[in-house]
Amino acid sequence: MTKSRYLAGKKIVPQPIPKGIKITDLVDNYFQAYNAARLREATQLFAQKMLASDVTIGMSLTGALTPAGLGGSCVVPLIKAGFVDWIVSTGANLYHDTHFAIGHSLHKGSPFVDDRVLRKEGVIRIYDILFDYEVLLSTDEFFRHLISQPEFQKEMGTAEFHYRVGRYIAARERKLGIKNASVLATAHRYAVPVYTSSPGDSSIGMNVAAMALEGYGLKLDVSRDVNETAAIVLNAKRKGGRSGVLIFGGGSPKNFMLQTEPQIQEVLGINEKGHDFFVQVTDARVDTGGLSGATPSEAVSWGKVDPNKLPDTVVAYLDSTVAMPIMTSYALAKRKPRKPKRLYEHLPALMESLKKEHKKARHRSK
């Protein structure tokens, strides 16, 4: 009898997990089915294919990841290894990222405490993370001090804003003897552009708004962000390379990262095909119609993902706080560091290239 082609996969072997097993062996040999298997596929795709030298990797961060310590434990090592080239994050993640770098502490706690008591005692809760209300006030003061500086009295994109802020955070880290705590400080050192898709939707944006009431001149240019991110992706393709997206969570950062291709193709009229790699970790359902749960195949219909590259896409349905440490550890163990692309330093040139291609596309359409 001819064996079905559907039985060509590796056999599931229920062997005992040995003592002291490495994370690479655990993922490769014991994540055998269900979402463990999807996590294995996502981890292997990221490490084995996406980390090729010609791939430009964008990472999106949604959900309260930095308060849980994942900024310093995962995102910072990935940036330092050259495994992340540009980032789209909620403003909240970048705000909470700053707490650690300026000397504050957040604490492990219980999600089942009485929040009325916490309010009376001046304790803030993010599920099972607890910290003093003064942490917020001090971090607000830190950002307001920065926003009042002369270099911030103009209109700029969020990448420029975060790059400038990162320099101050890095200086504070050095002064306090804190190492590798901040995503923004590390992104500044490695010239990784960091964008916020909804800059008003966080405590950072709230402080920008408060300073505007006092007459300070900082304005965040979201249109520049849209075009810069499109320019980053277009540059990756035009240089004979590929574009990959590594998505933790969903929401606005996911859409902002993926909409680069519709911006290039649909709006600017430039001939392109979509991202080459798509890895997402999410707990969002598909059937509610929300972007957070939308699949890579659905993204193909929008031009966000190259239809020919659909096999190089994986969605793992689990908590990012579980997946991110595993994926980071695996990638660092399996791959040598890549040379940082330092895209922030090239943004003016990338924008000029985008303008030229858009101009040519408009001329052809007339």
Which of 108, 247, 248, 99 minimizes the C-alpha distance to 182?
99
Q: What is the pLDDT of residues 333-352, one digit of tens each?
A: 999 999 999 999 999 999 99
Q: What is the pLDDT of residues 13-46, one digit of tens each?
A: 899 999 999 999 999 999 999 999 999 999 999 9
Cα 313 from chain centroid (whole Å)? 17
* Mean predicted lDDT score pLDDT of the chain: 94
The top-scoring range by mean pLDDT among 216-225, 290-299, 306-315 is 216-225
Helix axes 203-213, 91-101, angle to 10 degrees: 90
11 belongs to the catalytic site: no
Cα 127 to its chain centre, rounded Å, is 21
What type of residue is 338? Answer: R
**What are the pLDDT digits (tens) for 70-107?**
999 999 999 999 999 999 999 999 999 999 999 999 99
Q: Of the residues 11, 80, 254, 304, which is catalytic?
A: 304
Percent of the chain with pLDDT over 90: 85
> Which residues have a Cβ under 8 Å from the Cβ of 234 and sit 6 or more positions away?
264, 270, 272, 350, 353, 354, 357
Q: What is the pLDDT of residues 295-338, one digit of tens each?
A: 778 888 888 888 888 888 999 999 999 999 999 999 999 999 99
Q: What confidence score (pLDDT) does residue 140 get? A: 97
Average pLDDT over residues 232-258: 94
Neighbour tally for 51: CB within 10 Å? 22
pLDDT band at 1; cut points 50, 70, 90: low
Q: Shortest CA distance to 195 belongs to which of 168, 232, 170?
A: 232
pLDDT digits (tens, 9 = 90+) for 97-144: 999 999 999 999 999 999 999 999 999 999 999 999 999 999 999 999
Q: List the structure tokens of 308.
A: 């020919």
Angle between helices 203-213 and 133-147 (to 10 degrees): 50
Distances (CA, A) of 274 to 1, 213, 356, 359: 42, 42, 20, 20
Spell out the alpha helix ranges (H) of the chain.
Answer: 23-30, 34-45, 70, 76-80, 91-101, 115-121, 133-147, 158-176, 183-189, 203-213, 222-238, 251-258, 260-262, 296-302, 320-334, 347-365
* pLDDT score recorded for residue 222: 96
Instruction: Delineate the domains of the chain, giving CATH numbers in brackets.
Output: 21-26+34-87+152-200+220-365 (3.40.910.10)
